[in-house]
Amino acid sequence: MNLTTIFEHSNSQPIAFFIALLIAFYITPIIKERAELLPKRDSEPERYYSKLQLEKNHLTPRLGGLAILVAIVLTTVIYLITYGRYTPFGIKHLELEAIATGSSIIFLIGLLDDLKPLNCKVKLIGQLLAATVTFFMGLRIKFFINPLHLFDQSQSAHIKLELWLSFLLTVLFLILITNAINLIDGVDGLAVGVSIISAISIWAINLSPILYRPDAAVLAATLAGASMGFLRYNFNPARIFLGDNGAYLLGFILACISCLGLTKKVTVVILSPVILLIFAMPLLDLALAIWRRWSKNKEIMQADSEHIHHQLENLGLNHKQISYVVYSLTLVFAASGCFFIETSIGLRFISIIFCVALIWLSYSFIFNFKKQRVLKD
């Protein structure tokens, strides 16, 4: 079996998923122990910790993104060693170098913010730097939907973007998705769970005959597996937080993989609305936050406590219930996007979600039935 056949084989993505899952599962407790030795973030602690944690000075470490990063990197290295290359067509075909470099920068910005709070403008500059580097290393949106096609069928359904417009759109998209995932990270396990569902939908879509990017599907499966292994320790009550380093990392990689489908004119028309469905919940929360802060004459990047998860909490839902509600809505939107492309893609998405649900049940009823309770120490 040659290299191309291996990567096209349907078992390639599940293998990456389980390798990343196991690495994250076993590395997270080690990172948690090391992170507990670091100084805790004490700026606006009420935003990051529960009242019980503050009263008992039991501040959960915020270095969870490192576990996900390690799992992704090690899984990628295993693939590079095993197959010689990460894709059948070389690293540049997937823009893996661009994704790796941009992700490293965005992770570092989040890590610095977790260790010592950064000014909002500094964080934005860091995000712009990560997105810009990623763009000039080759990952870019090259086409866009032509709105005139809706009114005049003789018009082309897509528009080839000029370099400057491609730059603006790519950078904007990467930053929007990155911040959308970060903003929804307000309840234990929420951002990680949403990212898992989004990654699985991207995994399924990249195996579609329309797009067919098995290499991108491997990366999406790796991200989903790493997140799943970490979720075992991040779900309520969380033993370790994702942190800005992790939220930025998840959002940025998800955005990068999504961009891969917008590099061809034959896929941009179909995938553009699907991507909006995949990220519907984070983008909705982001849009509402921007509107809310703008209407109240507040700084757009000024944090508040009026996000979707806060509103659900005000209705009386606990953190687990909030997570399951948002998971369910994300699942419905993502499934709709997959079925919109093709029934087989929707069915593949559902089958993967079903397998992941079984893993989650094993967490709940076998590994973690007695251990996952409200912190007592």
Concatenating the DSSP letter of every residue in 161-185 gives: PPHHHHHHHHHHHHHHHHHHHHHT-
Concatenating the DSSP letter of every residue in 56-122 gives: HT-PPP--HHHHHHHHHHHHHHHHHHHHSSSSTT-HHHHTHHHHHHHHHHHHHHHHHHHHSPPPHHH
Task: Report which listed range, 89-93, 249-253, 288-292, 318-322, is most confident.
Answer: 249-253
Mean pLDDT of the chain: 81
Task: Report which listed range, 97-111, 269-283, 351-365, is most confident.
Answer: 97-111
72 CB-contact burial (10 Å; exposed 0-12 / middle 13-18 / buried 19+): buried
> 148 or 24: whose pLDDT is higher?
24
Is residue 293 pLDDT above 90, yes or no? no
Is residue 218 pLDDT above 80, yes or no? yes
Q: Taking a C-beta distance cutoff of 8 angstroms, is the pair 225, 71 a contact? A: yes
| Separation between Cα atoms, residue 163 and residue 169, nearest integer Å | 10
Q: Tell me, what's the pLDDT at 157?
A: 58
Contacts of the segment 10-16: beta carbons below 8 A, 24+ positions apart? 10/207, 12/214, 12/217, 12/218, 13/203, 13/207, 13/214, 13/217, 13/218, 13/220, 13/221, 14/221, 16/75, 16/79, 16/218, 16/219, 16/221, 16/222, 16/225
Q: For residue 1, what pLDDT band results from cuts at 50, 70 and 90?
A: very low
pLDDT digits (tens, 9 = 90+) for 321-330: 999 999 999 9
Pick from 43-57, 126-140, 193-207, 216-230: least confident: 43-57
Q: Tell me, what's the pLDDT at 191?
A: 93
Is residue 265 pLDDT above 80, yes or no? no
Q: Tell me, what's the pLDDT at 339?
A: 92
pTM: 0.86
Q: Tell me, what's the pLDDT at 306?
A: 79
- pLDDT (mean) for 3-22: 71
Q: Tell me, what's the pLDDT at 366?
A: 65
Q: Tell me, what's the pLDDT at 263?
A: 54
SS3 content of the chain, % helix, strand, coil (to 5): 70, 0, 30
Residue type, 255: A
pLDDT digits (tens, 9 = 90+) for 342-356: 898 999 999 999 998
Joined together, the tokens standing for residue 323 give 């997570």
> 116 or 88: whose pLDDT is higher?
116
Q: How many Cα atoms sit within 13 Å of 214 on the Cβ side?
A: 18
Q: Tell me, what's the pLDDT at 93?
A: 55
With CA atoms as reference, report the closest residue to 239 among 82, 35, 94, 55.
35
Q: For residue 97, what pLDDT band results from cuts at 50, 70 and 90?
A: confident
